[in-house]
Amino acid sequence: MLLQDYPPAAGSHRRGKPGDVPRRGICAFIAPDGVTPLVSGNSIVVVGDSSVLVIDTGQFPSMARHQISEIRRLTPKPVRYIVNTHWHPDHWLGNGEYQKAFPAAVILSTTHTRDEMRGRAMRFITPKSAADTRDAVVKMVDAGKRADGTPYSEIEKQYYGAALTQFRTYVTELEQTGITLPTLLFRDEIVLSLGGREAEVKFLGRGNTGGDAVVYLPDTKTLITGDLLVYPFPYGIGSFIGEWIDTMQRLATIDAVAIIPGHGAVQRDGQYIGVVTELLQRLQTQVRAAVADSLSLPDTRKLVDLGRYRSRLCGENPWCQFGFDRNFVRPAVGRAYREAKEGKLRDEGSGP
């Protein structure tokens, strides 16, 4: 992970020295591109005159410990608040390490996010669940082919090989950490004071999950989006496609000069928000047309064509293209199909 200060001076990517707070007191741990089975979200540090806010704490406790040491290099001020933007474990499994280091820190989220942490997330974050996944991947790698008998592509072989390595490490990580949940909940908005700086924590509507929070820093016009916005392509698993479009339109009205997504590089304007919104609209339009024609889900998957957006977002990068298809198109089509048939969805399941 790269520790960067935002908004930086032109061409400036620097590490702080002990006690040397970045120019505007906003830092981001930018995670590697999310092209492997286990990813970790970006983690953002906001330094005020009296205290520090951390937004998302990552998937791996060992990385959270590293981040804490870097924060202490930057400032002697304590972490007072931690915001978990949503329930996906790659944004909050480091909570426990932060609580150990800063026992007085308050962890907050939307009510929905904590409910899903206590419910849906638990099936993914026990040592046994990780070990079961590891063992399943071993069988897949050994088989060397899909369930229908067709061989894996070269990129699939690499993907599952990475999965095997990652889940072996992940089991150990989970064995060494406890589950630490938010202790302060909010519904629509809460304002945090860090001393000389305020952070506005908002729920703009359902989108990537049912409880996505964003953070806005009005003094620097910096917007931290969680996984409502992910670069270079969105994640569609369990999402609420129609409401996500509306939420993105509200996100676009926020006056921001630096936008830090849940994964990927910092954006300098709202152009990428517009691209993702168009992508969601195009997906919804095609799926609604298929449902109106009484097509099945398999036939709808064949009909939907988002190739123009794949090219626009990924270029010729095969890993990006693979992730776009696997992590956005397939699950998002399933979710949009259910929405077209059932109306607003209540659950965050992966679809039929």
pLDDT on residue 23? 43
d(CA 125, CA 123): 6
pLDDT digits (tens, 9 = 90+) for 74-112: 999 999 999 999 999 999 999 999 999 999 999 999 999
Final residue belonging to a domain, choices 255, 274, 293: 274
- Closest Cα partner for 206 from 346, 350, 325, 90? 346
CATH code, domain carrying 268: 3.60.15.10
The rounded percent of the chain whose pLDDT value lies above 70 is: 92
Range of the domain at 198: 2-119+181-274
* CA-wise closest residue to 226 among 246, 241, 206: 206
DSSP state of 114: H
Give the chain's residues under pLDDT 70.
1-23, 34, 350-352
Considering only CA atoms, which of 244, 240, 226, 213 is closest in space to residue 348? 240
- Tokens 């048939």: give the residue: 341
- Cα(113)–Cα(136) distance, rounded to whole angstroms? 28
For residue 99, being part of any structural domain is answered with: yes
Does residue 350 belong to any structural domain of this protein? no
Reported as a single tens digit per residue, the pLDDT across 267-298 is: 999 999 999 999 999 999 999 999 999 999 99
Instruction: Provide the whole-model pTM.
Output: 0.92
| pLDDT of res. 1 | 41
Domain assignment present for residue 351? The answer is no
Position 350 scores a pLDDT of: 58
Q: In the prediction, which pLDDT does 251 show?
A: 98
For residues 101 and 235, state if they share a domain. yes
**Domain presence at residue 352:** no
- Same domain? For 207 and 241 the reply is yes
Q: Evaluate whether residue 44 is within a structural domain.
A: yes
Is 81 part of any domain?
yes
